[in-house]
Amino acid sequence: MSKNPLNPLDLYKHLPQTNCGRCLLPSCLAFAAGIVAGNKKLQECPFISIELQEQLAEGLQPRSKLEPNQAQFIDRLEEKIRTIDFAQVAPVLGATCRDSQLVISSMGKDFYIDQQGQLRSECHIIPWVKAPLLSYVTNTTHQGITGDWITFRELKGGIDWQGLFTSRCERPLQQLADEHPELLGDIIDLFMGRKTEAFDADIALTLHPLPHFPILICYQAPEEDLESKLTIFFDACCGVNLHIKSIYTLCAGLIQMFDKISKLHI
């Protein structure tokens, strides 16, 4: 699939071209135009498989539109932080209060948030960490860990971001695991990960990027003529505790960090 944004004619080639009207438009070409304009969604055509939806998604969502302006986004989150009672929300978030600051653990590292929304930690604070963390704190709804694992596209809003998530999160991590078999073990050691036998995979490990935000990485190594496979699962609470944009930002940032770790083996 081309990385360039799809135009209506490009998209039309992938449609059934039957003009059945089930999308409530007079023709498949009109539907394609509606998709590109943002007035229609791929899943409104009953003949487009989930697999094809995922293939087309990246071409329909230019990065400049999907990825939020981090500086402005963080400014808005900092404003919300100023209105929050840390002592009240800490138990709900799985956090603690210390010296009038909210303390949140992320993969074994403590992050301190003051009432102005400023972060400090022994780790270097970068936007992909700060934005999801502040989003987690300011989210108006919250749910405890359920133990039910779901895929990214099953999260609220996940299907719209599936193309980017596959191409910039799951696929790059799969390639890293193929090239550096010891990487996933290093992740466990460095970031308080835990192996699990709950899934049929060569390696299945859980991480907690946020207290009530567990993710499960399942990796099947290549074998004979079979290619490797890697899937990132999320506890069902993740879609409640964090907006899909922040989930994508957090995961994409994690993969960038894992990529840097892999280079230590070169």
HEC per residue, the chain: CCCCCCCHHHHHCCCCCCCCCCCCCCCHHHHHHHHHHCCCCHHHCCCCCHHHHHHHHHHHCCHHHHCCCHHHHHHHHHHHHCCCCHHHHHHHHCCEEECCEEEEEECCEEEEECCCCCEEECCCCCHHHHHHHHHHHHCCCCCCCCCCEEEHHHCCCHHHHHHHHHHHHHHHHHHHHHHCCCHHHHHHHHCCCEECCCCCCCEEEEEEEECCEEEEEEEECCECCECCEEEEEEECCHHHHCCHHHHHHHHHHHHHHHHHHHHHHC
Q: What is the mean pLDDT of the chain?
A: 87
Percent of the chain with pLDDT over 70: 91
Whole-number pLDDT of residue 64: 41
Confidence of residue 225 (pLDDT cuts 50, 70, 90): confident
pLDDT at residue 247 is higher than 70: yes
The listed range with the strongest mean pLDDT (119-123, 167-171, 259-263) is 167-171
Confidence of residue 125 (pLDDT cuts 50, 70, 90): low
Confidence of residue 43 (pLDDT cuts 50, 70, 90): confident
Whole-number pLDDT of residue 171: 92
